[in-house]
Amino acid sequence: MGRDGYNVKAALVGMMSGVISTDVNTAQFTDVLLGCALSGYLAPAKDGWNDKTIANYNAGEDWYRVFMASDRIIPVIYTNYKQLKNSTDDPNILAVGDIVKVAAMHRVTDTYGPIPYSQIGSNGEISVPYDSQEDVYRTMLTELSDAINTLK
């Protein structure tokens, strides 16, 4: 597990930053404009983005990349998830890691629909085939059920 569980703690904290970001811009995108329950009802006050915003359902690349192509969500989650799995074989810690992974990734699929999920990280790559949203949620529910059973 490493000295005083440092690797485990670092991996879990890194994963948690994908659920609720400490970066102001990422938090605004994920918690206000993309991933929250009111995201379709909120709009930016600034009128200088040439209608290329989430509020107009015409997002430019700099708006939609925050979940998928940036280094803020998917790569952070899966890099830290791999580190966690390599740092411990404690089933309770791994179950918490699975819960945190689902907590972050369900917002990605809620925003985009089909996403890479079941095969991501399997070969060290994040560029893998996309899963349907239905398959993503089935896999997530299985992972959550397994985690709950482990933590009982």
Structure tokens at 99: 């819960």
Higher pLDDT, residue 129 or 72: 129
Residue range 13-38, pLDDT digits in tens: 989 888 877 777 666 766 666 666 66
Residue 131: CB atoms within 10 A of its CB come to: 19
Place 106 in a pLDDT band, splitting at 50, 70 and 90: confident
Mean local confidence (pLDDT), 98-124: 86
Dihedral of CA 65/71/73/77: which sign? positive
Residue range 40-49, pLDDT digits in tens: 666 666 666 5
CB neighbour burial string for 73-98, b if at least 16 within 10 angstroms, e if fewer: bbbbbbbbbebbeebbeeeebbbbbb
Residue range 36-95, pLDDT digits in tens: 666 666 666 666 656 666 666 666 666 655 555 555 678 888 889 999 999 999 999 999
Higher pLDDT, residue 111 or 4: 111
Per the DSSP assignment, residues forming a β-bridge with 115 are: 131
Q: Kindly report the length of the chain.
A: 152
CA distances from 24 to 20, 21, 32 (A): 10, 7, 11
pTM: 0.77
Residue 58: CB atoms within 10 A of its CB come to: 12
Q: How far is the C-alpha of 33 from the C-alpha of 50, rounded, in Å?
A: 17
